[in-house]
Amino acid sequence: TGYQYIITEKKGKVGLITLNRPKALNALSDGLIGEVNQALKLYQEDKEVGSIVITGSEKAFAAGADIKEMEKNSFSDAYMKDMLSQWHDMTKVRKPIIAAVNGYALGGGCELAMMCDMIVAGDKAIFGQPEIKLGTIPGCGGTQRLIRAIGKSKAMELILTGNNLNAVDAERFGLVSRVVPAEDLLSETLKLAEKIASHSQITVSLCKEAVNSAYELSLQEGIKFERRLFHSTFATLDQKEGMNAFVEKRNPTWNNK
C-alpha cells in the first residue's frame, strides 16, 4: 500500500494499523504520523470497517515523538509550522480507535494512545511522559488527557518526575481498560474491536460522539446533548431494526443507516 512507516491490513471488520519503524522504536516522525492519518482516513471511508486498532511492536508501541527530527527546531520554526498540530487529525475520526500497547508508550507514544478511544495493554507495557528529562513538556495532549484519565495528583507526579507507569498501575489508575498477557494482546484487542464492529456503525459513532462530548461540556449540557443524540437514533433504520429484532426474538441485521 505504499507506506514506509506503518503496515495496514483488514482483519474482518477491523482496520489494523501497525506502527513499523523498529530501528527507532516507532519514534513518531512527521512522516509516520502523516501515514497514520492517511490510513485512518481510508478506514473512515471504508464501509466494511467498523472499528480500528493501532498497535506497535512487542518492544515499543512508540517511544515518543522523534527527538532527532525535533531537536534542531527554533521557537519560530515550531510556531510557524504549528508543530504537532497534524496529530490532532485523528481525533476527528468517527469510528472507534483502540490502542493495543505492548512495551514503551512514552511521551508522544503515550499521547497517541490517549488520543485513541480506549487503551488495552499487554502486561509488559510501560507508559510515561518523560519530556521533562529532555527540557520540554508534553505537547500533544499529555498534560490535558492524562489528568482526565488518572486525576491531577498522579498526572502531576508522572509529568513532573518523568517516571514510568507499569501496566498493572495503568489499569489500577484507569488509564487502560484492561491488561492481558503480552502475547495475547493483539488477538484480545482484535476480539474487542470485532465485537464493537458487529454493532450498527452509525449507533457506534453516535455513542463515541456522546462519550467524547463529556470531555468538553458541563453535566447539564452533556446530558442534553446525549438526549438529543438519543432522539436522533429514532431517525435511523438501525433503531427500527434493533428494537424490532428484539421484539421478534431474532438477531438484528444492521443497515448502517
- List active site positions: 65, 108, 111, 131
Site string for ligand HXC, 17-36 (x = CB under 6 A): -------xx-x---------
Among 104, 115, 180, 193, binds ligand HXC (CB under 6 A): 104
Vertex 194: Cα angle to 243 and 29 (nearest 5):
130
Among 99, 107, 113, 150, binds ligand HXC (CB under 6 A): 107
Of the pair 66, 171, the CB lying nearest ligand HXC is at 66
Q: 136 phi and psi, to 5 degrees? A: -140, -175
CA–CA distances in Å: residue 176 to residues 78, 117, 159: 31, 10, 18
Residue 167 in contact with ligand HXC, rule: CB under 6 A: no
**Which grid cell is 200?**
450498527
Closest CA to 118 of 51, 62, 163, 57: 51
Of the pair 25, 113, the CB lying nearest ligand HXC is at 25
Of the pair 15, 56, the CB lying nearest ligand HXC is at 56
The secondary structure of residue 123, as a DSSP letter, is T
Site string for ligand HXC, 59-98 (x = CB under 6 A): ----xxxxxx---------------x--------------
Residue 56 in contact with ligand HXC, rule: CB under 6 A: no
Interface region with ligand HXC, contact rule CB under 6 A, candidates 74-82, 128-136, 167-175, 186-194: 128-136
Rounded Cα gap, residues 111 and 116, in angstroms? 9
Rounded Cα gap, residues 107 and 105, in angstroms? 7
Closest CA to 140 of 75, 213, 91: 91
Interface region with ligand HXC, contact rule CB under 6 A, candidates 106-114, 171-179, 192-200, 225-233: 106-114
Q: In what order do the strands lie in the sheet with 118-122?
A: 6-11, 14-19, 51-55, 97-101, 118-122, 178-180
Interface residues with ligand HXC (CB under 6 A)? 24-25, 27, 63-68, 84, 104, 106-108, 111, 130-131, 134, 138-140
